[in-house]
Amino acid sequence: ADASQVPPILVLRLQHVADPGALQRSTQGRRFKCDLWASVWTASVVLAELLSAPAVAREVFGLSVVEVGAGAAVCSLTAALCGAECVVATDGSDEAVALAEMSGKLNALGPKFAARVLDWFDADSVAAALAAGGGLFDLLVASDVLFLGTNIDPLLQILPQLVAPGGLAVILDPGRPCADGFAERAREQGRHFSVSTREAFDVVVSDSALLKRVVLHLVQVGGAPSPKTHALEAELLRAWSWLEKHRQDASSQGTPEVVGARGVPVPGRQRQCVYKSTWGPAAAAGGRGGGGGGN
């Protein structure tokens, strides 16, 4: 297999909660329990669409990838469908990990995709994630993990523990004010990180959701980028430029398709959803032709 075999239309099947209300009620009053993982957040759809742009997908092909704060694992599953050699979805919730594993099976990803519980402050937990991926990763992806300002320093501390020197972390935030200090804090770390930040406004994604502001952080970890991650960063920036120029263009958007139902060991019924990301020819610098997705 090679990168030319990545399909122009990626179809991602998600196993997720059909009745979030039942799940929310089950977590009320339970300390340290929440149901954030049970939704597909719009920021993760934006990042998944960037990863699935043809020119970007070709650079993701063959990489080892870890997602932190994966939730429904949209981004890590997308990376696996793009041909990443090894992908590990991580989250602090064991329910989220169980759900990600089911989605991996729905997409027939086999042993290339794994899901692990990751506590950013626990060395054994970090070691388990590394073991699942065979060592440090080429690429880390994260979406909307800075919903608390107190997450900034722990995220910066975990990056070099998971990402190989010269590797890349791609962090997308939906313009939360509490996340605005991330780039500055990363630059204060000096030689450990090199940060490039981009913003886009009034972005419509393939589930027709609108994000008034989206911030993309590209963080080179541990010095000069490797040839693989250097090429990946360049293509991500090209795809991002396309997104900036084509904001609020929702003319070709689709809708999610429910394809079945299965039970999983969390409260509430479950359903599978199809998320489709469709981009135009690679020559169009990542231009999107259409798509669909949803919670």
pLDDT tens digits, one per residue of 55-106: 999 999 999 999 999 998 999 999 999 999 999 999 998 888 988 998 999 8
**Span 172-197, average pLDDT:** 83
pLDDT in tens, 98-139: 889 989 998 999 999 999 999 999 999 999 999 999 999 999
Number of alpha helices (DSSP H) and beta strands (DSSP E) in the chain: 9, 11
Angle between helices 42-52 and 227-245 (to 10 degrees): 120
Lowest-confidence pick of 5-19, 169-183, 209-223? 5-19
103: tokens are 């989605």
**Nearest Cα to 89, choosing from 145, 166, 167, 20?**
145
71: tokens are 């939730």
Q: What is the pLDDT of residue 246?
A: 63
Helices (H), the chain: 20-27, 42-52, 54-60, 74-81, 94-106, 123-133, 152-162, 182-187, 227-245
Residues for the chain: how many in total?
A: 295
Q: What is the pLDDT of residue 40?
A: 77
Q: What is the pLDDT of residue 269?
A: 31
Higher pLDDT, residue 172 or 10: 172
241: tokens are 């430029």
Q: What is the pLDDT of residue 181?
A: 81
* Residues 133, 86 contacting (CB under 8 angstroms): yes
281: tokens are 């020819």
Higher pLDDT, residue 295 or 11: 11
Within 8 A by CB and 6+ apart from 147, the residues are: 176, 178, 179
Q: Which CATH number is 3-292's, of 3.40.50.150, 3.10.250.10, 3.30.365.10, 3.30.420.40?
A: 3.40.50.150
Higher pLDDT, residue 130 or 2: 130
Higher pLDDT, residue 52 or 149: 52
pLDDT in tens, 246-272: 654 433 333 333 232 222 333 333 334
* Residues 216, 172 contacting (CB under 8 angstroms): yes
3-state secondary structure 62-75: CCEEEECCCCCCHH
Residue 294: pLDDT band by 50, 70, 90 thresholds?
very low
Higher pLDDT, residue 140 or 260: 140
